[in-house]
Amino acid sequence: MSDPSESKDIVVTGSRFGGRTVTQSATPVDSVSREAMEQSGRVDVIQMLKVQVPSFNTPRPIASGVGDYLQPPSLRGLGPGEVLVLVNGKRRHTSADLNASNGIGRGDVSVDFNAIPSLALSRVEVLRDGAAAQYGSDAISGVINMILDRSVGTRAQATYLQTTKGDGETYEVSVSSGLRIGDDGVLRLTAAYQDHGASNRARADTRQQYFGTNAAGALVMPSSYYGSGTGLTAPNGALDPREAGFDRNVFFQGDQPNTNKQIFYNFVAPIPGGAEFYSFGGYNRIDGDITYFFRRAGQDETLRTLYPDGYSPGLKSRVENFSTAIGLRGDDLAGFGWDLSSAYGVNSQDLTYKNSVNVSLGANSPTRFYRSGADFYQWTSNLDLTREIPLGDADPLKIAFGLEYREETYRLFSGDPAGYVDGGVPILDGPNAGKPAIPGAQPGPSNGPDDRASLGRHSYAIYGEAEKTFFDRLLVSGAIRHENYSDFGTTTNFKVAGRLGLIGDWALRGSYNTGFRAPALAQSGYNASNTLILNGAQAIVRVAAVDTAAARLAGATDLKPETSKNISIGTVYQTGGLTLTLDAYNIKVKDRIAISSTFQDSRLTNYLAANGQSGFAAISFLTNAVDTDTKGVDLVLNYRHRFGDGSRLGLTLAGNYNKTTFDRIAGTPAPIAALGITTPLFDLTQQLRFSDSLPRNKVTLDLNYTRGPFSVSVTNTRYGEVSTVALTNRTPAQIAVLTPGYDTTLVPVAGSANSDIIQHFGAKVLTDLELSWQATTALRLSAGAQNLFDVYPDENIASTAASVAAGTNGADNAGTQPYNAISPFGFNGRTVFVRAGLSF
C-alpha cells in the first residue's frame, strides 16, 4: 500500500484526502526536508525549524527550569499553546511543565521537540493556517506535522560544534537504519545522543560581596549597587579585605549544559486483506544542570557556615518522553478508505536543587532538595473514514468523517519538606543576626503538600470534511468538528477554504475558520513559587492555581477556553523552476490564557494573611486576560535551476510580518482594586510579551549551489526588532542617565512624574555557511559556521556609576547580564562545526 507521505513533492497536512503539491493546496503549507533542516550543523529540531520557517520563532530562555530545554515555539506571532504538533498526522503529547519563567511563553505549555532525533524524520510540514475544525484544540495559528522516515537503508552521522569564544562544545552522534520486513514492510530504528556544553556571556559581579564595617566597627549589609565592591561606586561601610581577591566571574548567562538520549521507531507492514498495520514511537531523556543567580556572601539568603564566599544554587533536571502509536488502515471498508489508530504519550519531569540551602534550618540545613515533579499523560484514539463519490464529471466529491476520544491526566508532586519548611532558626551572624531567616530552599521553596495536583479529563469529537473541484480550476473544501470536554463543555468549529486557478499557473486561495484551545491541565493545576528577575532584581513569585484560596481572594476565576476567528487570503504562482506564494492573515483570539501581572504589595500581603493565606510576598495566577488581534503576511519564493554543466542552484526567499494588538485588556481584579492597588490584571510587561517580544518581521535568504561532489549553502536570516519593559517607575533624573545610547520608549506612570522604560533591541542579520564534500557514494563531510560574522544582540540598559549616583542600577542586573533572553537568536556569537555522514 502506498503512503503519500513518502514523496517530498507532496504534502499531506491540512487535508484528509491524500497528498497534493504545496502550490495546489488551498492553504499555505511549508514542506521542509530533513536535509534542509540539518544545514549548518544544527542538532536540535526546534532550532532547525526556526531557521527554515520564517513565521516560526523561539527564544533561548535562561534559568527558567526545564523551559531552558523546551524553548517555547511560536507560529505567526502567537504562543506555544496555539500551535498543534503532530507526528505522522497523529496528535503529539505536550510537556507537563507550565512555563512560569519571566519570559516568552510564560503561562503556557509546549511540545518537547527534543524527543525526536532529526535523523528519524523524512520532512516536517508546517500548515500556516487555523485548523481546529480538522484537528481539534490548539490548532489556532497552525499545525506542525513531523513525518517519520520509512525508507530502507542506513544513515549515520557525527557532529561537533563549538563557539569561537571556546565554550558551548556540543557532540552529537546518531544512526538510523531501515530494514525490509517481508516484501513491502519496513522497520526503521533511529538512535541519537547529544551532549550540549554550557556557554556563558555573563560579566563580572562588581558589587560588594561581604559585609562592610562602619566607623564603630559594626558590620553593615553590603551595597547592591554596581561597582560597589571595586571602587566604582561607594560601598556600604569599609570593604572586607576579601573583596580584593574575590573571583567576580560568578554569574551565568548562556546555554545550560545537558545530555539528550533519543530512540525512535517507525514500522509499516501490509496485512492480509489489503490493509496495512503501522506503529511508531520512542523514548528520550534529557539530563540537565541549570545554574541560578549567584547569592553573595553578605546576603540573608546565604548560610555563611556552609558558603563563606557565596554560592550559585543549581537545578538538576530530568525530562523524559515516552510515546507509542498503533493503527490499521486500508482502502476498502464497505467502499471507504479507513484509518483506526490509538496514540499514547507521557512526559515526566523531576527537579532537584543542588548547591542550595534553607537558611531557616541553620547549620543543619541540607544542600540538596527534591524541588518537585510533574507528569502529563495523553491517550488519543481516532477512526477516520474517506470516500470519493462520482458526480458525473472528472472530479468526484470527496468526503471524510471520523471520531476521536482523548483522555488526559496531569499530576504535580510535592518536594522535600526541608525545602519548604520554616525551620525557625534565625539568621546566625552578620548585621541581621537574630532576625527571622528566609524559609525554604534557594532559589525558591520546594513544592509543599498543598501544591500537589491531580487533574484529569476526557473529550469526545465527531468531525467531517468535504472537498470538490469544479471546472478543473476551483477547489472548494469545508470541515466541521463538534467536541465535548468533560471539564469545559462543548464547542463546534468550522472551516471553509478554496483555491481558484486563474491565468496559466497563477491561482488565488483563501480560508476562513473558527478555532478553540482548551486550557491545558497544567494551566489549571500548576501551583508553585518561582524566582524571577523583575525590573533587574530577584523576587520570589507565587503562581497560585486558580482554585486555591489565595488565588480566589486575589480575584482568580475558572479558566475558559480560548476561541479564535482566522481569515487568510493568498496567491500562488508557479512557472518552470520558480514558485511564489503570498498569504495575508488575520487571527482574532478571544480570552487568551496567560499568567497575570505580579501583584506585589504589602496591602495585598496583609489582606491575604488576614484571611488565612500567609507567606505571599508576590502572587500571580492564570487568567483569560486579553483578546488579541494578529495581522500578518507570509512570502515564500523558491527558484531551482540546473545549468548545462550539471551543477544546480537553489534559492529560497521567505519572509513573515505580523503585528499583535489588543481588543480587550482586563482591568484590576475587584478584590485587589478594593485595597487601593491599581496594577492591572495584565500589565505593560505582560502585554509586550504578547505583542513585541517576538520579531514582528523575519526574512530568510537561502542559497544552495552544488557542482559535482561539492556544495555550498549560505543562509542569511534577518530577525526584526523586539522590545520589552526594561525598568519600571524610574524618575526623570534616573532616566536621563540610563537611556542615552539606547533605543527606548517612555510610558508615564499614572499619577507620577516617573515612567516605565521600554527598551527596543534592533534588527540583526545572521549568516550561516556550510561547505560539503561527497567524498564517496557513502561518505559526506561538512564544515561551516552558524552566525558567521559573530553578531550579538543589542545589550541591556547598563548599570553605571552615573546611574548609581542617580539611585538605580540598569536593566542588566547590576552589570552581570548584558543580553536579554528575548533575543530571537540567542547570544552565543559565532559557532563553528564539522560533520561526517555515512549512507549505505
User: What does each C-alpha distance from 137 to 349, 405, 684, 798 come to in angstroms?
Assistant: 24, 13, 29, 43
- Cα-Cα-Cα-Cα dihedral sign, residues 51, 53, 57, 60: negative
d(CA 628, CA 141): 13
Residue 320 amino acid letter: E
3-state helix, strand, coil in the chain (%, to 5): 10, 45, 40
In the prediction, which pLDDT does 9 show?
A: 58
Question: Structural domain boundaries of the chain?
Answer: 4-205+249-721+762-787+825-839
Reported as a single tens digit per residue, the pLDDT across 304-359 is 999 999 999 999 999 999 999 999 999 989 889 999 999 999 999 999 999 999 99
Residue whose C-alpha is closest to residue 686's, from 102, 62, 63, 64: 102
Residues 6 or more apart from 411 whose CB is under 8 A from it?
96, 374, 375, 376, 453, 454, 455
Task: Give ∠ CA 284-288-294 in degrees, rounded to 5.
Answer: 165
In the prediction, which pLDDT does 337 show?
A: 94
C-alpha cell at 253: 548567562
- Round the average pLDDT of the chain to a whole number and report it: 91
Q: Which residues of the chain have pLDDT under 50?
A: 1-8, 532-536, 538
Torsion of CA 245, 251, 255, 261, to 10 degrees: 80
In the prediction, which pLDDT does 34 show?
A: 85
d(CA 237, CA 218): 9
Cβ atoms within 10 Å, residue 470 = 12
Residue whose C-alpha is closest to residue 179's, from 154, 214, 146: 154
User: What does each C-alpha distance from 272 to 123, 179, 268, 269, 332 come to in angstroms?
Assistant: 30, 20, 14, 10, 13
In the prediction, which pLDDT does 33 show?
A: 85
Query: Phi/psi of residue 524, each to 5°?
Result: -85, -30
d(CA 67, CA 194): 18
User: Are the C-beta atoms of 538 and 608 separated by less than 8 Å?
Assistant: no
Architecture of the CATH domain 4-205+249-721+762-787+825-839: Beta Barrel (2.40)
In the prediction, which pLDDT does 6 show?
A: 38
Residues 6 or more apart from 21 whose CB is under 8 A from it?
9, 10, 11
> For the CA atoms of the chain, what is the radius of gyration?
28
C-alpha cell at 525: 493545576
In the prediction, which pLDDT does 99 show?
A: 84
User: Are the C-beta atoms of 744 and 757 separated by less than 8 Å?
Assistant: yes
In the prediction, which pLDDT does 68 show?
A: 73
- Cis check: omega of the bond before 709, within 30 degrees of 0: no
Whole-prediction pTM value?
A: 0.92
Reported as a single tens digit per residue, the pLDDT across 762-803 is 999 999 999 999 999 999 999 999 999 999 999 999 999 999
In the prediction, which pLDDT does 535 show?
A: 47
Beta strand pairing call for 619-642 and 537-544: parallel
